[in-house]
Structure 1
């Protein structure tokens, strides 16, 4: 039968066409166009001077650890069930003795207001609004007390570096306790600063040093400089000296003599939950469980310390098998999608932390950008759960995930 044609009727054309109302708010329009964390990264790179963006985006040496961590999540194979009612899913969980509306929180990040002027103010407020924990770094650019002020009813965590001047570190612990922070992240993977080659090549320093290159790079980004120059001076919650490269600052603050004795001292003065961040092998996990810490964070510091360090997601099953009944196990590094979070929970993690994803959102649009980051990841988490056909995080288990092997030791029987 021949296909019959007719002239289109204007009334029928109008039924098929819907004109989108223009949005004259540039920030809202920009963030609405971001559908993934990778999209937020693209916007952030466009809007942020190279030195500041590379500080967030980069890692140590050849950046192999970061690439492997992201690849590990890409190498996940999911195994969904069928014919289950998933019209409603529950993404809430409990971690370190308290609630979270989502299975991820905001990781501690240093020099945050240098990425975007709102810095930790935006991160803490967005986390509080979303009902997830916010972590403040020792090298944060907003004080402990100010974070509490912008997130008065939410869960605030403090990340501690043990410095050469122990009294500074222990004083921060006491301030965080007085401010009502409920969890301390005792960080153990930074006895010295890693080789952040992008920062060295960019001459990244605090405060920013103007060179011909930085001026040329800043010309198409006047908004960043306007925000930087017209807001409060960039200062740190714990450092009195702010001159020099990032490596200089970190190196002056950290102490390679940190030991289990310091952990004991902190345990004695900290009244809340004590978590050790930067654990990278099973034996240390077992020792910490025996010492009675409340949790550990499997982390290689986002690939920013020892390059070629273990991939936390690969390490997760072995650690869960050994100490999963004894303490909460959190994972970070490489998370760029809500499915990465779901895979981590399925493999036994209690919770996850996101750092770069948070900063990409911040650089893309300040507080609104952090809100958008949370919205993107939470939507991906819920959708992945629905497609796996589970109703709650408790239903996730290792049968839902296969970690496809790309890396593995060539030999395990080498003898000297």
Structure 2
């Protein structure tokens, strides 16, 4: 689609659904189990009312802020989402380029279809790297050294995936990890020839590459198929080896934050993996204030899962988040329009943040505080709200 016709994340989601085989779209869009947490991520944001300030001059609104030493154009970063090639062959390098143009951070996924050294060559701004720990400690050490040598400044360790998640929707669609060919998947590809041609051969500036999809899939499966539990000892060891900022992603409890600060962690991401791991985990916005209060300023608190609007960003910042991360929005955009789609979703979200700040009566990120949100009304959750994750 012409991404200029998209006016919201949902517009890009619908466009992605039309372009991609349903089974592949469901990999991006779906969640674990009965998808309760997937829905709660959105519903929780929608229950929080905003309380605008009056008599404020909002002629000039500044969305810039600093997150773990990186100056960014807005308090919105791009979360790590594995195997972006299933959305578009330009994949992670395209996301890195778009993030650089927008002036924000891209957290390159540990399950990237491209090696970290390749992605960073496309960067026009700061990149962080997401780490999934493997059972082989020597492999972890080697990867950390590679990431540091490549120029990544911040390491983001995901702690909420000690085993491979069980996503029934993918299994019903015949999608497993590692992916095995099946007549159903072959038919889905034939029904979407433009997507299939792009996935298999690529249509970007690099030219025809018959093995690019295979290499991307091999990199992806190698990164995520053998994850392991992350303990305090592992974090301490990483802290000793990694010289830059260290972030822990996957925190949902305030009573664990003090220990993380004691271990030398610089930031935590309040995340339920977008409802893709443990179905029944709380919505992240519901536990954010608890984590922020427990952090007591000792480390930065970020949030992902469920952010779809600029108003969601203001809600999260009002409850104490330093910034938010989004995942599915840019994956939908990448599927809908490639690199130009990612440009468009970042433009839309930035504009929404400006409008939201203007309408609640603040002109800088530092002015966003808890006075801008009210308590959630005591109403029942809607029956079904789609699309809640990073």
Q: TM-score, normalised by structure 2?
A: 0.90
Task: Write out per-residue CA displacement over residues 51-84 of structure 1, whole angstroms, 9 at most, x where no aligned residue.
Answer: 2211110111111111101101111201111222
In structure 1, what is the equivalent of residue 350 of structure 2? Answer: 378
Matches within 5 A, 1:2-151: 27=1, 30-151=2-123
Matches within 5 A, 1:201-212: 201-205=172-176, 209-212=180-183
Do the aligned residues in 2 keep the contact of 1:333 with 1:354 (CA within 8 Å)? yes
Q: TM-score, normalised by structure 1?
A: 0.85
In structure 2, what is the equivalent of residue 253 of structure 1? Answer: 226
- Distance in 1 separating the partners of 2:218 and 2:334: 23
Unpaired segments ≥5 residues, structure 2: 203-208, 381-390
Do the aligned residues in 1 keep the contact of 2:83 with 2:217 (CA within 8 Å)? no
The alignment status of 1:319 with 2:291, answered yes or no, reads yes
- Distance in 1 separating the partners of 2:149 and 2:296: 31
- Give the alignment partner of residue 144 of structure 2, picking from 173, 194, 219: 173
Deviation for aligned residue 1:208: 5.4
Unpaired segments ≥5 residues, structure 1: 1-26, 244-248, 409-416
- Distance in 1 separating the partners of 2:178 and 2:3: 29
- Give the alignment partner of residue 189 of structure 1, picking from 160, 164, 167: 160
Count of residues in correspondence between the two structures: 372
In structure 1, what is the equivalent of residue 242 of structure 2? Answer: 270
Matches within 5 A, 1:304-343: 304-343=276-315
- Distance in 1 separating the partners of 2:251 and 2:242: 20
Deviation for aligned residue 1:184: 0.5
The alignment status of 1:297 with 2:276, answered yes or no, reads no
Name segments (4+ residues, structure 1) moved above 6 Å: none
- Distance in 2 separating the partners of 1:46 and 1:161: 32
Q: Which has the higher contact order (CA 8 A, sep 6+)?
A: 2
- Distance in 2 separating the partners of 1:33 and 1:238: 32
Do the aligned residues in 2 keep the contact of 1:168 with 1:238 (CA within 8 Å)? no
The alignment status of 1:219 with 2:196, answered yes or no, reads no
Do the aligned residues in 2 keep the contact of 1:144 with 1:237 (CA within 8 Å)? no
Task: Tell me the secondary structure at the aligned position of residue 353 of structure 1.
Answer: strand
- Distance in 1 separating the partners of 2:286 and 2:280: 13
Change (3 A) 1:175 1:194: same
Deviation for aligned residue 1:238: 10
Deviation for aligned residue 1:212: 3.5
